Amino acid sequence: MTEQSIIFFDIDGTLLNFDKKLPQSTKEAVFKLKELGHIVAIATGRAPFMFEGLRKELEIDTYVSYNGQYVVLNGEVLYTNPLNIASLEQLTEFALSNNHPVVFMDHEDMKANVPKHPFIKESIATLKIDHFPTHDPNYYKSHDLYQTLLFCPEGEEHQYIEKFTAFDYIRWHPVCVDILPKGGSKAKGIEKIVNALGIPANKQYAFGDGPNDFEMLTTIENSVAMGNGEEKLKKLAKYVTKSVEEDGILYGLQMIGLL
């Protein structure tokens, strides 16, 4: 068997193309990696319930979700890092005063604190998932939350960044920002997995394309930025592959010698 490596893949813009479809070349490449004895894992900002179908299709049971806040190894929860509820309650009250809705998210579901809002519909629709948040303004009181979505136009998140310092903020849509525990990242989630498995740094690989991949691609020794990725990210990564629309995963794996 080939000496074992572990490869972490982001989802949106990396495993999935811009239409949220899995290229056939990517699917075949993932299964070939596993045939060669490597470990294939996912590292995403998505909630676990947002990529359950993809995990089943690719037969992957090790993943970093919520940008490192909910980590699963071989189907078992390895690490969790929930949001500070007291701080979140204060943020939610402030957001309501600004007419900025929020969506609370745990590992199983997501609930909005308002019955409906155009920003929620607009941004969630771009994920092309079946799951849509229903209304429960008190969901945070009885569940551990690993991420909250704040819906506000670009630029307006700065007032939250200054006022609520217990959190990190990552914008992923013109009207939506991810709220995470301060210092949380995909890189920290990945660290939990590779330490548990005892995989050395030179056998760790990661593919990504977006702002929430910066820590991952600057921490993992063998980092690969997608050709469709942000220019800043491509300058920081060790390798740059082709776009997801040009069989970028297959090309990248061949380029770095894993396939």
Specify the pLDDT at position 217. 97
Specify the pLDDT at position 154. 95
pLDDT band of 1, cuts 50, 70, 90: very low
> Which domains, ranges and CATH numbers included, belong to the chain?
6-80+184-255 (3.40.50.1000), 85-181 (3.30.1240.10)
137's tokens: 């303004």
Calculate Rg over the CA atoms of the chain: 18
Kindly state the average pLDDT of the residues 73-79: 98
How high is the mean pLDDT of the chain? 96
Rounded to an integer, what distance in angstroms lies between the CA atom of residue 222 and that of residue 257?
11
Rounded to an integer, what distance in angstroms lies between the CA atom of residue 224 and that of residue 253?
9
CA-wise closest residue to 187 among 212, 162, 161: 212
Would residue 10 show up in a list of annotated catalytic residues for this protein? Answer: yes
Q: Indicate if the pLDDT at residue 131 is higher than 90.
A: no
pLDDT, tens digit, for every residue of 135-193?
999 999 999 999 999 999 999 999 999 999 999 998 889 999 999 999 999 999 999 99
pLDDT, tens digit, for every residue of 27-44?
999 999 999 999 999 999
Rounded to an integer, what distance in angstroms lies between the CA atom of residue 122 and that of residue 101?
13
The residues that bridge with 181 in the sheet, in sequence order, are 167
The residues that bridge with 171 in the sheet, in sequence order, are 177
Q: Do the Cβ atoms of 4 and 199 come closer than 8 Å?
A: yes
* 245: number of Cβ within 10 Å: 14
Q: Which of 10, 106, 209, 213 is catalytic?
A: 10
Rounded to an integer, what distance in angstroms lies between the CA atom of residue 9 and that of residue 23?
14
Report strand pairing: 63-65 vs 134-135.
unpaired
Alpha-helix runs per DSSP H in 20-80: 24-35, 52-58
Q: Indicate if the pLDDT at residue 129 is higher than 90.
A: no
Specify the pLDDT at position 199. 96
How many DSSP H helices and E strands does the chain contain?
Answer: 9, 14
Q: Dmax over Cα atoms in the chain, in whole Å?
A: 59
The residues that bridge with 168 in the sheet, in sequence order, are 180
Residues 6+ positions from 78 with CB-CB distance below 8 Å:
71, 72, 192, 193, 196
Global pTM reads: 0.92
What residue has token string 């204060």? Answer: 90
Rounded to an integer, what distance in angstroms lies between the CA atom of residue 42 and that of residue 102?
26
Q: Indicate if the pLDDT at residue 257 is higher than 80.
A: yes
Instruction: Say what percent of the chain tops pLDDT 70.
Output: 99
